[in-house]
A = this chain, B = another copy of it.
Amino acid sequence: MSLDSVLARVDADLNKATDRLMALLRIPSISTDPAYSDHCDAAADWLVDDLRSIGFDADKRTTSGHPMVMAHGEGSGPHVMFYGHYDVQPVDPLDLWDSPPFEPAIEDTPKGKVIRGRGSSDDKGQLMTFVEACRAWKAVHGSLPAKVSIFFEGEEESGSPSLVPFMEANREELTADVALICDTGLFGESTPAIVTRLRGLLGEELTITGPNKDLHSGMYGGIARNPIRVLAKIIASLHDASGRIMVPGYYDGVEELPPKIAQQWNDLGFENAKFLGEVGLGLPAGEDGRTGLEMIWSRPTCEVNGIGGGYQGDGFKTVLPAKASAKISFRLVPGQDPLKLRESFRAFVQSQLPDDCTVAFASHGASAASEMSTDHPAFEKARAALSAEWPNEAAFVGCGGSIPIAGHFKQILGMDAMLIGFGKDDDQIHSPNEKYDLSSFHKGIRSWVRVLDALSK
């Protein structure tokens, strides 16, 4: 019973595994802030040392930004490439944290024990589930059940500037039979999930200029064009009353869900009211006639992430501003071409612009959606392995966010990626008081033990 003995080893070693995670969490590896650059380096060093202690051939690779960690462990069977990221989000607003973000601790909560601290869920806790699974295999059997490579990035929270160049420069070393990515969550409390659909992202910023300076709204109000009103009208025109996006050609290539997947999603018992109620909302705001899961997993969106113009300080200023701007993002689904949609969006804005206004655009990224081919046998093997660990059957699900690494594995290396993670909706990633359930960590390690076992067969 080789599998059972490894699982038993995981259970016995949990306290020490938690201590190791704590040590990694204490390193404030905030990638977006240059002041934390040395700490990013320290986190990479910590991982290299830990992987070497398990027997991996591990080292740190310099980039023009923060270093990558690469590790290879010998084993028979298929070759898997595991990806995670050791960098974390900034911690502001710091005053909303109930405990210091880089002094992690185990806390008892009404829902069970949690590991509290920045990065506990996103993504240090998650990546350590895999490392601990490998450690347990090695401890029990002296070897891994597969050839295992590990690839940790340190810039995921700051736009991954070095990722694509690094992957292109190291194609051979990074190519395996299948990629494993641990940066996603369970569905609900206890349904393991393999993400097979990821939305892409098109980020645009537009600045509308009307008058050549700020004007007094008494002297000019009524006769002069107000760029805030122009911008508001354009934003209002982006959706029709049914929630459909009005950018011409926006839905070109967007397909309906395969009935089998649609059925699976319906079976998940997602409740709009519960999901929205947790954040103080109540009414699904997407397209009429779509389920909540479709709205976040399989339908494209157009959202305004920021808007600004005129006087925003205390009090009042009767100004007609020269400029107004907005940051707009489109979550894309398979079939949509980000570059084509960028052109279409810009033309749509231009077409609504009064003749005495101008618009300037800035691009904030354009990545296509990803759809995994679940025909690869690894997908069904992993689904069965996860179903054995958790109370509920594992499901193939979508993810509303963008995890570009999955697309890169496919496009640059021709490799399918399985996104398996153990985060929960209330983990507060990117927010104050981030946490990772101790049960996510524990059962996450056990899950990888089972997945590695299944893939080796």
Chain A residues packing against B (C-beta within 8 Å)? 32-34, 89-90, 92, 96, 157-159, 199, 201, 203, 205, 210-226, 228-229, 231-233, 235-239, 272, 275-276, 279-286, 292, 295-296, 299, 301, 303-321, 324-327, 329, 331, 354-356, 364-365, 399-402, 425, 428-432
Residues of B close to A312: CB separation below 8 A: 306-308, 325, 327
Asked whether, in the complex, the Cβ of B295 is within 8 Å of the Cβ of A317, the reply is no
Chain B minimum-CB-distance residue to A365 = B316
Residues of B close to A229: CB separation below 8 A: 235-236, 238-239, 303-304
Q: How far is the CA of A125 from the CA of B340 in the complex (A)?
A: 56
Residues of B close to A205: CB separation below 8 A: 316
Q: How far is the CA of A221 from the CA of B238 in the complex (A)?
A: 15
Chain B minimum-CB-distance residue to A205 = B316
Residues of B close to A221: CB separation below 8 A: 296, 301, 303, 329, 331, 400
Asked whether, in the complex, the Cβ of B304 is within 8 Å of the Cβ of A213, the reply is no
Q: How far is the CA of A331 from the CA of B222 in the complex (A)?
A: 9
Residues of B close to A301: CB separation below 8 A: 217, 221-222
Q: Which of A216, A223, A285, A355 has the most CB of B within 10 A?
A: A223
Chain B minimum-CB-distance residue to A283 = B356
24 residue pairs from A and B, CB less than 8 Å apart: A159-B315, A201-B218, A205-B316, A212-B280, A218-B402, A219-B296, A219-B401, A220-B279, A221-B296, A221-B400, A222-B400, A223-B276, A223-B285, A223-B296, A225-B283, A228-B304, A229-B235, A229-B239, A229-B304, A231-B232, A232-B232, A306-B311, A307-B324, A318-B329
Residues of B close to A228: CB separation below 8 A: 235, 304-307, 326
Give the number of copies in the complex: 2
Asked whether, in the complex, the Cβ of A279 is within 8 Å of the Cβ of B224, the reply is yes
Residues of B close to A299: CB separation below 8 A: 222
Q: How far is the CA of A101 from the CA of B191 in the complex (A)?
A: 62
Residues of B close to A157: CB separation below 8 A: 317
Q: Report the minimal beta-carbon distance from A150 to chain B, rounded to whole angstroms.
A: 24
Asked whether, in the complex, the Cβ of A275 is within 8 Å of the Cβ of B307, the reply is no
Given contacts A220-B400, A225-B285, A232-B235, 13 further A-B contacts (CB under 8 A): A92-B313, A214-B432, A215-B430, A215-B431, A221-B331, A229-B238, A229-B304, A304-B309, A305-B316, A305-B317, A305-B318, A307-B308, A319-B430
Asked whether, in the complex, the Cβ of A232 is within 8 Å of the Cβ of B356, the reply is no
Q: Report the minimal beta-carbon distance from A77 to chain B, rounded to whole angstroms.
A: 34
Residues of B close to A272: CB separation below 8 A: 223
Q: How far is the CA of A170 from the CA of B182 in the complex (A)?
A: 73
Question: A223 contacts which of B33, B225, B295, B318 (Cβ < 8 Å)?
Answer: B295
Question: A222 contacts which of B237, B238, B296 (Cβ < 8 Å)?
Answer: B296
Chain B minimum-CB-distance residue to A237 = B236
Asked whether, in the complex, the Cβ of B315 is within 8 Å of the Cβ of A210, the reply is no
Asked whether, in the complex, the Cβ of B305 is within 8 Å of the Cβ of A216, the reply is no
Q: Report the minimal beta-carbon distance from A70 to chain B, rounded to whole angstroms.
A: 25
With A214-B431, A285-B224: A305-B319 Cβ-Cβ less than 8 Å: yes
Asked whether, in the complex, the Cβ of A222 is within 8 Å of the Cβ of B286, the reply is yes
Residues of B close to A296: CB separation below 8 A: 219-223
Asked whether, in the complex, the Cβ of A316 is within 8 Å of the Cβ of B220, the reply is no
Chain B minimum-CB-distance residue to A198 = B218
Q: Which of A157, A309, A319 has the most CB of B within 10 A?
A: A319
Asked whether, in the complex, the Cβ of B317 is within 8 Å of the Cβ of A218, the reply is no
Residues of B close to A318: CB separation below 8 A: 201, 203, 305, 329, 401-402, 430
Asked whether, in the complex, the Cβ of A218 is within 8 Å of the Cβ of B295, the reply is no
Q: Report the minimal beta-carbon distance from A310 to chain B, rounded to whole angstroms.
A: 4
Asked whether, in the complex, the Cβ of A218 is within 8 Å of the Cβ of B354, the reply is no
Q: How far is the CA of A92 from the CA of B399 in the complex (A)?
A: 42
Asked whether, in the complex, the Cβ of A89 is within 8 Å of the Cβ of B317, the reply is yes
With A305-B311, A307-B310: A224-B432 Cβ-Cβ less than 8 Å: no
Q: Report the minimal beta-carbon distance from A96 to chain B, rounded to whole angstroms.
A: 8
Q: How far is the CA of A311 from the CA of B329 in the complex (A)?
A: 12
Q: How far is the CA of A286 from the CA of B226 in the complex (A)?
A: 10
Q: Report the minimal beta-carbon distance from A183 to chain B, rounded to whole angstroms.
A: 10
Question: A329 contacts which of B217, B233, B279, B307 (Cβ < 8 Å)?
Answer: B217
Chain B minimum-CB-distance residue to A203 = B316
